[in-house]
Structure formats: structure tokens, C-alpha cells
């Protein structure tokens, strides 16, 4: 396949935006860049891998999961993996999802964990880590791959949608905001806390749409605009919570996995919240967070933490932004 030039340039996130984040509790000081156009904020580490990431070659046997962070990606990835590996569900007990699937943004989103480096050195002794540990491990995998990314469609290989099956998971912005607050409050990078502030401050930064992987709305909009593409299936976290079997049946058709009702039930049980949490106790999936990655797994937690004043502000923001997309989210 031919290489594609990146469709954006980059600028440093302006000092006044960084200062706003700091004044509201962000303490992690690594430089952020953002795309022009699009204003997608990314860590500076992305720049070195941008071309390789953008030109990552997808295959027709791949399944790609996309989402804005904290939208239920881990749950969806476990469901997809179980559907693709129905005869090997016991592997879930042996390796966590990072050992069974590939998070394509991991090379620049987080410091690469030691276990990935060990796997990389064993499998690709001559390869250079600075050219992307996960990107190269994924490229070297021969069988059908499950790959996931939090990047917006704008920053993914334009051949991807025409090449393989893609699933996009979306979650309502109120619960994404709550989930992101708890996650970021528990997160440490290089031993340092990333966020030490109040929820109300965090929500203001969220509505500013200017931290990592934001803007939220454009991320969803780019997938929503492609919703009629035959290779794209959009799924909502709230629907998964309400009727998981119904959503699995749709996925079964989309992926053409041909699973029986009984097998779909097995899939839903294999990736239930309690099951994933108990597996995590034996094999942490994200060592950079203090405590469990699996927090509540519910819809509507926003109402337990937001003041009525913040709720009004958030509703206004949602009304203004969702108009440009035409999506109505469920909040309970
Ligand atoms: P909460 O913080 O609201 O509990 P991501 O994987 O995109 O980071 O999303 C994380 C969110 O998905 C967290 O939400 C997490 O608890 C929830 N989640 C993970 N596994 C789940 C499951 N099996 N069922 C329901 N929610 C799940």
C-alpha cells in the first residue's frame, strides 16, 4: 500500500491553555501538541511516531476498535476478543488484554511497560524500540488481529475503513467526564500524580475540550459521519448496559462471526464487569493507576457527583455541541 502524508500539521498547546489546566489541578508537566486543523491534543511523544502510526497497515482479517477514552473500550475489546477467539476463552486467564490485542497508541500515550519491552525484545531482537514497540509487535503478528485506538478517524490510515471491520464505541459525555476524572485522579506517570483537583474543576477542563485526545465531540462526529460505511459499526455504552445480548447479535452480524446464542452468552459472561475485575486482581491491566481500573461500570454516575449548577452548565454545553452532530445520548 502507498504511504499517506499526514493530513495535519502540529502546534504546541498554547501556554494559556496549559495554565488553565494547571490552575484546575493538572500537575503532569509533559508538553502537549495539537493538530492543525482539528485541535486534537496529543502528547509530544506522538510526533516521532506520527507517520508510522498514520501509515500502520491494516489487513482484511483485522478488527479495529475505536473510541474516545473512558467510553467502555476495555469492555468492548474483551467482548470482541472473545467473539474472535470463542474456542480459546481460557486464554483470558493467562494474559491480560494487552497481551492478546494491540493498543496502537500505547507507544506515545503512556510510558511503555516493561512487559511489552520484554515481549518486543524476544520477538523482534533486531527492531528499534523508538520506531514503536506496539506498532512493530502488531505488524509482526500473523493471525487475525484485534487492534484498538483512541485516535480520531482523521489521524488513522485512510485505507483502514475500506480494508477491515471497525467498531466505534461511544458513551455519553457526562459519564465519560466522571469516569475520566476518577481515572486521571488515580493515574501516575513516571511516579507522579497526573491530577490533583476537584471534580468541578476537572469538568471545566473537560468542557474546555482541550486536554489529551480532545475534542470529544469532533472525535465522535468523525465516526458518526461514516456511520453508513459498511465496515463501520457504532455501538453505545448505554445500549451495551441495557441489552448486551442485543448488541452482541449486531456485532455477530457485523463481524460475520456466526456465533450461536449460547456462544454469545458465553462471550457476555466472559467479559462481565465482575469477571474482568476478578481477572484484574490476578493480572493488573494498567499498573499506572492506583486501585482498580474497573470502577463502577454504570450509566448515570454523573448525578452522584455533579452539583445542579454544574449539571446546568454541562447540559448547555451538550446542547450546543451535540447540535453539530445530531446524536442524542442516553444518560440513565
Ligand atoms: P466507570 O469509570 O464509569 O466505571 P475505557 O475502557 O474506555 O477506559 O472505559 C472505562 C469505563 O468502562 C469505566 O467506567 C469502567 O468501569 C467501564 N467498564 C469496564 N469494563 C466494563 C464492563 N464489563 N461492564 C461495564 N462497564 C465496564
Q: Report the separation in Å between the CA atom of 291 and the middle of ligand 1, taken as the mean of its atom positions.
A: 14
Query: Strand locations in 21-133, DSSP E?
Result: 32-36, 41-43, 63-67, 102-103
Q: Report the separation in Å between the CA atom of 178 and the middle of ligand 1, taken as the mean of its atom positions.
A: 11
CA 189 and chain centroid, separation: 18
- Arithmetic mean of pLDDT, 92-99: 95
Residue 241: CB atoms within 10 Å = 18
pLDDT per residue as tens digits for the range 60-88:
999 999 999 999 999 999 999 999 999 99
299 pocket-lining for ligand 1 (C-beta < 6 Å): no
pLDDT per residue as tens digits for the range 18-56:
999 999 999 977 889 999 999 999 999 999 999 999 999
Indicate which atom in ligand 1 lies nearest the CA of residue 275: 23
Q: Which among 105, 268, 295, 298 is the best mutation to test ligand 1's pocket, defined by most ligand atoms within 8 Å of the CB?
A: 295
DSSP conformation class of 26: B
Cell (9 digits) for 252:
455477530
Q: Report the separation in Å between the CA atom of 107 and the middle of ligand 1, taken as the mean of its atom positions.
A: 22
Q: Report the separation in Å between the CA atom of 35 and the middle of ligand 1, taken as the mean of its atom positions.
A: 28
Is residue 325 within 8 A of residue 221, CB to CB? The reply is: yes
Contacting residues for 255 by C-beta, under 8 A, at least 6 apart: 63, 80, 83, 84, 165
pLDDT per residue as tens digits for the range 169-212:
999 999 999 999 999 999 988 888 999 999 999 999 999 988 88
SS3 35: strand
Indicate which atom in ligand 1 lies nearest the CA of residue 276: 23
Q: Report the separation in Å between the CA atom of 179 and the middle of ligand 1, taken as the mean of its atom positions.
A: 8
Q: At what angle do helices 261-270 and 244-255 cross, to 10 degrees?
A: 110
Give the pLDDT of residue 191.
83
Q: Report the separation in Å between the CA atom of 15 and the middle of ligand 1, taken as the mean of its atom positions.
A: 33
| Cα–Cα nearest to 321, from 184, 212, 209, 227 | 209
157 pocket-lining for ligand 1 (C-beta < 6 Å): no
Give the pLDDT of residue 28.
75
**What CATH number labels 55-173+216-325?**
3.40.50.300
Residue 136: CB atoms within 10 Å = 17
296 pocket-lining for ligand 1 (C-beta < 6 Å): yes
82 pocket-lining for ligand 1 (C-beta < 6 Å): no
Give the pLDDT of residue 8.
98
Amino acid at each position: 500500500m502507498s504511504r499517506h502524508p499526514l493530513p495535519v500539521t502540529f502546534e504546541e498547546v498554547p501556554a494559556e491553555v496549559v495554565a488553565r489546566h494547571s490552575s484546575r489541578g493538572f500537575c503532569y508537566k509533559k508538553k502537549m501538541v495539537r493538530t492543525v486543523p482539528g485541535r486534537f491534543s496529543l502528547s509530544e511523544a506522538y510526533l516521532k511516531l506520527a507517520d508510522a502510526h498514520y501509515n500502520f497497515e491494516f489487513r482484511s482479517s483485522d478488527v479495529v476498535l475505536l473510541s474516545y477514552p473512558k467510553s467502555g473500550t476495555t469492555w468492548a475489546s474483551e467482548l470482541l476478543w472473545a467473539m474472535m477467539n470463542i474456542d480459546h476463552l481460557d486464554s483470558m486467564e493467562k494474559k491480560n488484554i494487552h497481551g492478546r490485542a494491540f493498543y496502537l497508541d500505547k507507544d506515545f500515550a503512556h510510558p511503555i511497560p516493561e512487559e511489552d519491552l520484554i515481549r518486543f525484545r524476544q520477538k523482534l531482537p533486531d527492531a528499534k524500540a523508538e520506531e514503536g514497540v506496539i506498532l512493530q509487535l502488531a505488524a509482526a503478528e500473523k493471525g487475525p488481529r484485534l487492534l484498538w485506538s483512541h485516535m480520531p478517524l482523521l489521524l488513522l490510515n485512510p485505507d483502514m475503513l475500506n480494508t477491515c471491520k471497525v467498531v466505534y464505541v461511544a458513551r455519553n459525555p457526562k459519564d465519560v467526564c466522571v469516569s475520566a476524572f476518577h481515572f486521571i485522579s488515580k493515574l501516575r506517570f513516571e511516579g507522579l500524580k497526573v491530577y490533583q483537583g476537584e471534580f468541578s474543576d476537572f469538568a471545566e477542563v473537560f468542557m474546555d475540550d482541550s486536554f489529551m485526545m480532545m475534542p470529544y465531540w469532533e472525535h465522535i462526529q468523525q465516526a458518526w459521519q461514516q456511520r453508513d460505511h459498511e465496515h463501520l459499526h457504532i455501538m453505545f455504552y448505554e445500549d451495551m448496559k441495557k441489552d448486551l445480548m442485543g448488541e452482541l447479535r449486531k456485532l455477530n452480524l457485523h463481524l460475520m462471526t456466526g456465533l450461536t446464542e449460547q456462544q454469545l452468552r458465553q462471550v457476555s459472561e466472559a467479559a462481565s464487569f465482575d469477571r474482568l475485575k476478578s481477572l484484574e486482581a490476578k493480572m493488573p491491566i494498567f499498573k499506572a493507576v492506583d486501585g482498580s481500573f474497573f470502577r463502577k461500570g454504570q450509566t448515570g454516575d454523573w448525578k452522584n457527583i455533579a452539583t445542579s449548577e454544574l449539571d446546568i452548565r454541562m447540559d448547555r454545553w451538550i446542547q450546543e455541541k451535540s447540535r453539530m452532530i445530531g446524536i442524542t445520548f442516553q444518560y440513565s
